[in-house]
């Protein structure tokens, strides 16, 4: 008995279409395709279909659509009591889209217990291009003029596709996330894609959703008109 066949594509040939998500591998979970490119049009089409790139330096571009999918509804976010206290104290100043490349570089920096990074120079350049086009956004947490935490991702329609976050001070990334959720809720976003569950994401309220349900929601929400351009902090939490 043979397993799913990995779909290979040459650069610039995505017009042949993505394979159905159900053809993704069970092990490794969600591996769907390899090859292609990281052009903005490729990434945007991939995200709208529930597919994202994730690979190491020196490897071919790998495309994933895991089962299940970790997601969070902005309307359902309830910060923990400790996070509410920190938000009330105003320990960090939060901004949007003021230091996108610095956030990406911080997310790519070596982490304790980790070897290498999936945010390769090519990936960083691709998301910087999406940022210049008004699709990719960052949230920054600042303290005494230093960037101490943040996150970045891609906004399409009414869905925010989270990519990575970092923290150099206690709860800095959580504060950035809370401001992100507030912004998304106030602007009628319906879904945050967290990709794969982790203890940190679960602590923020992410839950697992069957892939078929996730893709159904993308067909509804990610096809809505895109609100491109820089984001701004509306007011304080």
Question: Which residue in 148, 197, 166, 152 sits closest to 29, CA to CA?
Answer: 197
Tokens of 129: 């291009």
Same domain, 20 and 116: no
Domain count, the chain: 2
Same domain, 127 and 210: yes
Mean pLDDT for the chain?
A: 90
Q: pLDDT per residue over 186-235, tens digit each?
A: 999 999 999 998 888 888 889 999 999 999 999 999 999 998 999 998 65
CA–CA dist 80, 174 (Å, integer): 10
Q: Model's pTM, two decimal places?
A: 0.92
CATH of the domain at 61: 3.30.70.3550
- All residue ranges of the chain with pLDDT < 50 are 1-2, 115-116
pLDDT of residue 200: 85
Q: pLDDT per residue over 30-49, tens digit each?
A: 999 999 999 999 999 999 99
């Amino acid at each position: 008995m043979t397993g799913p066949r990995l779909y290979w594509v040459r650069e610039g040939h995505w017009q042949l279409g993505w394979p159905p998500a159900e053809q993704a591998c069970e092990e490794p979970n969600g591996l769907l395709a390899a090859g292609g490119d990281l052009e903005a049009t490729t990434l945007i089409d991939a995200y709208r279909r529930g597919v994202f790139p994730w690979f190491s330096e020196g490897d071919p571009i790998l495309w994933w659509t895991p089962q299940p999918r970790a997601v969070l509804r902005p309307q359902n976010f309830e910060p923990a009591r400790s996070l509410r206290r920190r938000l009330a104290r105003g320990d960090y100043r939060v901004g949007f889209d003021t230091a996108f490349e610095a956030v990406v570089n911080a997310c790519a920096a070596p982490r304790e217990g980790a070897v290498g990074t999936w945010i390769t120079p090519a990936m960083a350049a691709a998301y910087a291009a999406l940022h210049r086009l008004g699709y990719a956004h960052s949230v920054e947490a600042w303290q005494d003029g230093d960037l101490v935490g943040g996150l970045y991702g891609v906004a399409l329609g009414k869905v925010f596709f989270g990519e990575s976050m970092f923290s150099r001070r206690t709860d800095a990334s959580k504060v950035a996330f809370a401001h992100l959720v507030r912004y998304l809720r106030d602007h009628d976003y319906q879904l945050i894609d967290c990709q794969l569950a982790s203890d940190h994401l679960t602590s923020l309220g992410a839950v697992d959703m069957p892939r078929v349900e996730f893709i159904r929601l993308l067909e509804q929400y990610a096809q809505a008109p895109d609100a491109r351009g820089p984001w701004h902090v509306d007011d304080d939490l």
